[in-house]
Amino acid sequence: DQQVKQNSPSLSVQEGRISILNCDYTNSMFDYFLWYKKYPAEGPTFLISISSIKDKNEDGRFTVFLNKSAKHLSLHIVPSQPGDSAVYFCAALDAGKSTFGDGTTLTVKP
Protein backbone atom coordinates (compact mmCIF):
# COMPACT_ATOMS: atom_id res chain seq x y z
CA ASP A 1 0.00 0.00 0.00
CA GLN A 2 1.60 3.23 -1.16
CA GLN A 3 1.15 5.86 1.55
CA VAL A 4 2.29 8.83 -0.56
CA LYS A 5 1.07 9.13 -4.12
CA GLN A 6 1.87 11.51 -6.93
CA ASN A 7 -0.69 10.62 -9.54
CA SER A 8 0.70 12.70 -12.38
CA PRO A 9 3.95 11.23 -13.74
CA SER A 10 4.58 14.32 -15.85
CA LEU A 11 3.57 17.94 -16.27
CA SER A 12 4.44 20.41 -19.02
CA VAL A 13 3.95 24.17 -18.66
CA GLN A 14 4.98 27.29 -20.51
CA GLU A 15 7.65 29.56 -19.07
CA GLY A 16 6.10 32.29 -16.91
CA ARG A 17 2.95 30.31 -16.14
CA ILE A 18 2.07 28.51 -12.91
CA SER A 19 3.11 24.91 -12.27
CA ILE A 20 0.97 22.91 -9.83
CA LEU A 21 2.25 19.56 -8.60
CA ASN A 22 -0.02 17.40 -6.48
CA CYS A 23 0.49 14.79 -3.80
CA ASP A 24 -1.95 12.62 -1.83
CA TYR A 25 -1.27 10.65 1.34
CA THR A 26 -3.11 8.13 3.47
CA ASN A 27 -1.31 8.11 6.83
CA SER A 28 -2.77 10.69 9.21
CA MET A 29 0.29 10.32 11.48
CA PHE A 30 2.54 12.22 9.07
CA ASP A 31 3.64 15.40 10.83
CA TYR A 32 5.70 17.12 8.14
CA PHE A 33 5.64 17.18 4.38
CA LEU A 34 8.56 18.11 2.17
CA TRP A 35 9.17 18.66 -1.51
CA TYR A 36 12.46 17.69 -3.14
CA LYS A 37 13.70 18.44 -6.63
CA LYS A 38 15.95 16.07 -8.55
CA TYR A 39 18.07 16.70 -11.62
CA PRO A 40 19.53 13.79 -13.65
CA ALA A 41 22.65 12.19 -12.15
CA GLU A 42 22.16 14.06 -8.85
CA GLY A 43 20.51 13.20 -5.57
CA PRO A 44 17.27 14.95 -4.55
CA THR A 45 17.64 18.44 -3.07
CA PHE A 46 15.31 19.94 -0.50
CA LEU A 47 12.93 22.61 -1.78
CA ILE A 48 10.28 23.50 0.80
CA SER A 49 8.41 21.95 3.72
CA ILE A 50 5.18 22.38 5.66
CA SER A 51 4.10 21.29 9.11
CA SER A 52 0.87 19.35 9.48
CA ILE A 53 -0.49 22.15 11.68
CA LYS A 54 -0.24 24.71 8.89
CA ASP A 55 -2.06 25.03 5.60
CA LYS A 56 0.38 27.16 3.63
CA ASN A 57 4.09 27.87 3.45
CA GLU A 58 5.71 30.22 0.97
CA ASP A 59 9.33 30.66 -0.10
CA GLY A 60 9.92 32.94 -3.04
CA ARG A 61 8.38 31.43 -6.16
CA PHE A 62 7.43 28.24 -4.31
CA THR A 63 4.30 27.77 -2.19
CA VAL A 64 3.08 24.56 -0.62
CA PHE A 65 -0.55 24.12 0.36
CA LEU A 66 -1.81 21.44 2.73
CA ASN A 67 -5.42 20.25 2.97
CA LYS A 68 -5.48 17.86 5.92
CA SER A 69 -9.11 16.90 5.58
CA ALA A 70 -8.48 15.78 2.01
CA LYS A 71 -5.01 14.42 2.82
CA HIS A 72 -3.71 16.39 -0.11
CA LEU A 73 -0.87 18.80 -0.68
CA SER A 74 0.28 20.76 -3.66
CA LEU A 75 3.35 22.69 -4.73
CA HIS A 76 2.84 25.86 -6.74
CA ILE A 77 5.69 27.38 -8.71
CA VAL A 78 5.05 30.82 -10.12
CA PRO A 79 6.37 32.05 -12.42
CA SER A 80 7.80 28.81 -13.81
CA GLN A 81 11.27 28.96 -15.34
CA PRO A 82 13.07 26.53 -17.68
CA GLY A 83 15.57 25.81 -14.88
CA ASP A 84 12.70 24.38 -12.83
CA SER A 85 12.53 21.42 -15.21
CA ALA A 86 13.27 18.41 -13.00
CA VAL A 87 11.63 15.54 -11.14
CA TYR A 88 9.75 16.67 -8.03
CA PHE A 89 9.22 14.30 -5.13
CA CYS A 90 6.74 14.73 -2.33
CA ALA A 91 7.86 13.22 0.98
CA ALA A 92 6.06 12.76 4.29
CA LEU A 93 7.66 12.38 7.73
CA ASP A 94 6.48 10.18 10.58
CA ALA A 95 8.75 9.83 13.61
CA GLY A 96 11.84 10.58 11.55
CA LYS A 97 11.10 8.16 8.74
CA SER A 98 10.52 9.62 5.27
CA THR A 99 8.10 8.13 2.77
CA PHE A 100 8.43 9.40 -0.80
CA GLY A 101 6.04 9.53 -3.71
CA ASP A 102 7.15 8.31 -7.13
CA GLY A 103 7.76 11.81 -8.47
CA THR A 104 6.39 14.11 -11.15
CA THR A 105 8.58 15.19 -14.05
CA LEU A 106 8.08 18.90 -14.70
CA THR A 107 9.05 20.35 -18.06
CA VAL A 108 8.99 24.13 -18.43
CA LYS A 109 9.06 25.17 -22.07
CA PRO A 110 10.70 28.48 -23.07
Partner 1 sequence: DTGVSQNPRHKITKRGQNVTFRCDPISEHNRLYWYRQTLGQGPEFLTYFQNEAQLEKSRLLSDRFSAERPKGSFSTLEIQRTEQGDSAMYLCASSFRAVPDTQYFGPGTRLTVL
Burial 24-60 (b: 16+ CB within 10 A, else e): bbeeeebeebbbbbeeeeeebeebbbbebeeeeeeee
Q: Nearer to partner 1 by C-beta: 2 or 14?
A: 2
The site that binds partner 1 (CB under 8 A) totals a number of residues, namely 26
Using CB under 8 A, pick the residue from 64, 89, 106, 108 that binds partner 1.
89
According to CB under 8 A, which residues from 20 to 49 bind partner 1? Answer: 31-32, 34, 36, 41-46, 49
User: Does 58 interact with partner 1 (rule: CB under 8 A)?
Assistant: no
